[in-house]
Chain A
């Protein structure tokens, strides 16, 4: 690791001020960042540790929404009664991230701010049309994700919580890359107040909605309807784990499985 200064923030305002003053990076659970530091892929002059900020933790039900604090660990989302009752698909998604040790450290906010193109949480945020609350503003899911490892967050802006609308039905199914456990392709399907939404992770440079699948599932919310949609491979990721055509095929297959799982 390159050298860095480590500052411990005790409030969101304090963390934002430390980030603004230092131009540093926020440290949430560190499950991607610490690994990047070790490989010298990241060289922040300052790290601002968010783990001591009580206001960023916790899960609560607010009417038709489940609100999850940014520093809530994946394991706590997976085990939460509020999430299991309100959005079981989200609890299951959290339970499937990485492995147990990663889920004990990794956080919702850290995952979203990192916006790894193969991460699971972005699919739930976009699939459920969740609202990302930050230290400065509220962002709709569609406005938050900008591209590969890129979000709308400013340098000194922190995610504080995410508000997930409770859907009528939802499910997330991923095809796991066997070495990394990240999604080779992951598909989140939801019946929401605004209609059927299908969000895809792992297949492109960032999470995206599959309009053709949404239209087909709006007409008929069945596995067969999803399977019949041929997703174009144009612009999709292609690497030694799977070609763009393979990923395109997986999107329909996984969407069909997600529809079945959603019941």
Chain B
């Protein structure tokens, strides 16, 4: 079954037609060629596919595209400025070496933005608790947490 779908992705209005079964992550990656959002486990556990829907982090591999009709979706591609200047959270991940292989990074950064929006002054324990839904198979958590703290501080400036 095909259904018409309108939503906003990274500030751009998108109007398309999708199969009812289309997952949000497949619309983003295949339909819109936004391959920065990764599919890790494909079972809603690892969080690599995390994007923001109306400002809230969700796992796009476990949400139907049709469920976000009319919503504002933000992906990792929507964070940097047009001239390529990184978002403070992206810059913090680079500065702190908050990634090893980098596969989980887009999801980590998007989850970090949801976290900072609610807990701008989060301490290390809070950050670890809030990132429970994002797994790093390189186990590079130490620097990821450091990066989120720096990113939060830079965003507060």
Task: Name A's B-contacting residues (CB within 8 A).
Answer: 1, 3-6, 8, 27, 30-31, 34-35, 37-38, 47, 49, 51, 75, 98-102, 104-105, 181
Q: Given A3-B1, A31-B44, A100–B20 Cβ distance below 8 Å?
A: no
Q: Are B111 and A101 in contact (CB under 8 A)?
A: yes
Shortest CB-to-CB span from B16 to chain A, Å, is: 15
Q: Which residues of A contact B23 (CB under 8 A)?
A: 34, 38
Interface centre among B3, B20, B47, B134 (most CB of A within 10 A): B20
Contacts of A98 in B (CB 8 A): 133
Q: Shortest beta-carbon distance, A93 to chain B, in Å?
A: 15
| A31–B60 CA distance with the chains assembled, in angstroms | 11
One of A1, A27, A99 near B67 (C-beta < 8 A): A27
Q: Report how far A4 CA is from B21 CA in the complex, Å.
A: 7
Please give, as numbers and ranges, the residues of chain B lying within 8 Å of A102 by CB-CB distance: 44, 59, 133
Q: With A6-B3, A34-B62 in contact, do A101 and B57 touch (Cβ < 8 Å)?
A: yes
> Within the complex, which residue of A1, A5, A35, A75 is in contact with B43, where a contact is CB–CB below 8 Å?
A35
B70-129 residues with Cβ-Cβ distance < 8 A to A are 111, 114-115
Measured CA separation A248–B93 after assembly (Å): 45
Asked, given contacts A101-B50, A105-B63, whether A75 binds B56 with beta carbons under 8 Å apart, the answer is yes
Q: A6-B64, A181-B132 are in contact. List 4 more A-B contacts (CB 8 A).
A: A27-B67, A30-B64, A38-B23, A100-B115
The complex places the Cα of A75 from the Cα of B57 at a distance, in Å, of 11
Given contacts A4-B21, A6-B66, A27-B67, contact A100 B44 (CB under 8 A): no
Q: Which of A3, A6, A27, A101 has the most CB of B within 10 A?
A: A101
Q: Please list the 6 inter-chain residue pairs (A to B) with the smallest Cβ-Cβ separation, ordered nearest first.
A: A99-B133, A6-B20, A104-B56, A1-B21, A99-B132, A101-B59
A39 to chain B, nearest CB (A): 8
Assess whether A47 is in contact with B67, with CB atoms less than 8 Å apart: no
- What chain B residues lie within 8 Å of A38 (beta carbons)? 23, 42-43
Closest to B59 in A: A101
CA of A5 to CA of B43, assembled, Å: 23
Contact of B62 among A5, A8, A31, A47 (CB under 8 A): A31
Contacts of B63 in A (CB 8 A): 30, 34, 105
Is A100 a contact partner of B62 (Cβ separation < 8 A)?
no
Tell me the complex Cα distance, A192–B36, Å: 50
A169 CA to B150 CA in the complex, in Å? 40
- Closest A residue to B57 by CB, please name it: A101
Q: Which of B20, B56, B115, B130 contacts A4 (CB 8 A)?
A: B20
Tell me, yes or no, whether B58 is within 8 Å of chain A by CB. yes
Query: How far is the CB of B61 from the nearest CB of chain A, in Å?
Result: 8
Report 25 cross-chain contacts, Cβ distance below 8 Å, ordered by A residue: A3-B21, A5-B1, A27-B67, A30-B62, A31-B62, A34-B23, A34-B62, A34-B63, A34-B64, A35-B43, A35-B44, A35-B62, A38-B42, A38-B43, A49-B66, A51-B67, A99-B47, A99-B134, A100-B130, A100-B132, A101-B57, A101-B111, A104-B56, A104-B57, A105-B58
Alpha-carbon gap, A4 to B19, bound state (A): 9
B134 surroundings in chain A (CB, below 8 A): 99
Chain B residues with CB under 8 A of A101: 44, 47, 50, 57-59, 111, 133
CA distance A181 to B43 in the complex (A): 14
> A30: which B residues are within 8 A, CB to CB?
62-64, 67
How many Å lie between the Cα of A104 and that of B133 in the bound state? 12
Distance of A5 Cα from B56 Cα, bound (Å): 27
Residues of A within 8 A of B59 (CB): 101-102, 105
What are the residues of chain B within 8 A of A99 when measuring CB–CB? 47, 132-134
Query: Is A100 in contact with B57, judged by CB distance below 8 angstroms?
Result: yes
Q: How far is the CA of A31 from the CA of B62 in the complex (A)?
A: 7
Determine the chain A residues whose CB is within 8 A of the CB of B115 once the complex forms: 100
